[in-house]
Amino acid sequence: MILLIKLFLTLQSTSVNFPTKFLKLMLTEFGKIFVFILTAALFVVVAIYVARLLRPKRPTFEKLTTYECGENPEGSPWVKFNIRFYVVALIFLIFDVEVVLLIPWALVYREMGIVGYLIGAIFLILLGVGMAYEWKKGDLEWARPKIKEPTLDIIKSTETKKEELKTAS
Amino acid sequence: MGLLDQEFTEGNIVIAKAEDLFNWARLSSLWQVGFGLACCAIEMMATSASHYDFDRFGVIPRPSPRQSDVIIISGTVTFKMAIRIKRLYEQMPDPKYVISMGSCSNCGGPYWEHGYHVLKGVDRVIPVDVYVPGCPPRPEALLEGLLKLQEKIRNESIVKPIRSGFVGKSA
């Protein structure tokens, strides 16, 4: 760990204006991020560990059971989701990325002028074409299985008999 | 674990100072279970809203008893609900506190005689710290109840109690 910190603490070349002691411990820009990450991790670990040391711990059966609004926990938490959500998730992802890309574009829109407008338009047209393709393919529809209505064999046979009679007469 | 909690049988300066700190921390951030039963719950919500501002005492409704310190029994406790209340209380982590709000949860209230379906006081299933009278109590009354609870917490001790029948750490 100390080696890692030393890696990120780079020794700056001495300059005339500043005392050398001060400069020896200066961080690079990435070093600052590293210190930030380190502090964040330490903060969490220390807070959790100190709380663990100080808090009362009296586990009971009720306390350790799954919380389901005071009801008896029922069934497995690993519920199966419908496979049709997969297409919806994919389409959502595309438009999610679109928003992420369009926000920085909107910020520099005025400075970019007509070029920026065209770039944005091409991007949106491409996405629109994709959307139209999805629509045409029927991915936006929530496909439901067709219900097979049960029919009785007796009714079927009488119907065919009626038809036979009709054709005969 | 539990470095200090009920580890000592008599107080000393470290315990006294730690107690002050713990009690101050506990009474200043009493998170309540987001839980309401009847008309008292409406008053409780009014207390949480901007006019009475429960938040200035550090009371925030939490969606799970796992994150809560206090449960406010706000309303009529029916027999069906009593089972759930008991479980919710049991699932809260220690230290936990109970405020019984309104006549119904104090003693059955208007249902004390002919309420075939009502528990005659929530203290029959869980230990109550503060009773707030009223039908329903005004938000000021609930605030007073909370202040009483804070007073109670301020004088709490982490010294191991010498009491028979206490379900403590060793049990």
Its ipTM equals 0.70
Statement: residue B128 has pLDDT above 90: yes
CB contact under 8 A, A54 and B94: no
The answer to whether the CB of B6 falls within 8 A of the CB of B159 is yes
What are the C-alpha distances in Å from B120 to residues A81, B74, B77?
Answer: 45, 14, 8
Mean pLDDT across chain B, nearest whole number? 87
pTM for this model (two decimals): 0.64
Q: Which of A10-24, A41-55, A84-98, B29-43 has the lowest mean pLDDT?
A: A10-24
Residues of A with CB under 8 A from a CB of B: 52-58, 60, 62-63, 65, 67, 69-71
Burial class (CB in 10 A: 0-12, 13-18, 19+), B31: middle
Angle separating helix axes B139-154 and B13-28, nearest 10 degrees: 160
pLDDT of residue A13: 42
pLDDT of residue A27: 72
CB contact under 8 A, A57 and B65: no
Task: Please indicate if any CB of chain A lies within 8 Å of the CB of B123.
Answer: no
Q: Provide mean pLDDT across the span B123-138.
A: 93
pLDDT of residue A15: 44
Statement: residue A135 has pLDDT above 60: yes
In A, minimum Cα distance to B170 occurs at A58
pLDDT of residue A48: 92
Statement: residue B47 has pLDDT above 90: yes
Task: Please indicate if any CB of chain A lies within 8 Å of the CB of B10.
Answer: no
Burial class (CB in 10 A: 0-12, 13-18, 19+), A85: exposed
- Does A140 or A57 have the greater pLDDT score? A57
For A50-80, give the DSSP string.
HHHHHS-----HHHHSPPSTTSPP-S-S-PP
pLDDT of residue A11: 44
Mutation for A interface: B90, B97, B157, B160, most A CBs within 10 A: B90
Give per-residue pLDDT as tens, A48-83. Answer: 998 888 888 888 988 888 888 888 888 887 888 777
User: pLDDT band at residue A4, thresholds of 50, 70 and 90?
Assistant: low
Distance from the A57 Cα atom to the nearest Cα atom in chain B, whole angstroms: 7
CB contact under 8 A, A62 and B91: yes
Mean pLDDT across chain A, nearest whole number? 79
User: Best-predicted range by mean pLDDT among A100-114, A143-157, B45-59?
Assistant: B45-59
Instruction: For chain B, give the number of residues.
Output: 171
Q: Provide mean pLDDT across the span B4-30.
A: 81
Distance from the A47 Cα atom to the nearest Cα atom in chain B, whole angstroms: 15
In B, minimum Cα distance to A63 occurs at B91
- Does A112 or A43 have the greater pLDDT score? A43
CB contact under 8 A, A54 and B4: yes
Q: Provide mean pLDDT across the span A129-141.
A: 83
- Does B143 or B164 have the greater pLDDT score? B143
Q: Which residues touch B5 (CB under 8 Å, ≥6 apart)?
A: A54, A55, A56, A57, B158, B169
Backbone angles phi, psi at B36, to 5 degrees: -140, 150
The answer to whether the CB of B76 falls within 8 A of the CB of B106 is no
User: pLDDT band at residue B42, thresholds of 50, 70 and 90?
Assistant: very high
Q: Which residue of A55, A58, A67 is in closest CB contact with B91?
A: A67
In B, minimum Cα distance to A70 occurs at B84
User: pLDDT band at residue B56, thresholds of 50, 70 and 90?
Assistant: very high
pLDDT of residue A14: 41
> B residues 43-82 near A, CB within 8 Å?
64-66
Q: Which residues touch A54 (CB under 8 Å, ≥6 apart)?
A: B2, B3, B4, B5, B22
Read off the DSSP letter of residue A16: S
Task: Please indicate if any CB of chain A lies within 8 Å of the CB of B84.
Answer: yes
Statement: residue B167 has pLDDT above 50: yes
Statement: residue A169 has pLDDT above 70: no
Distance from the A53 Cα atom to the nearest Cα atom in chain B, whole angstroms: 5
Statement: residue B46 has pLDDT above 90: yes
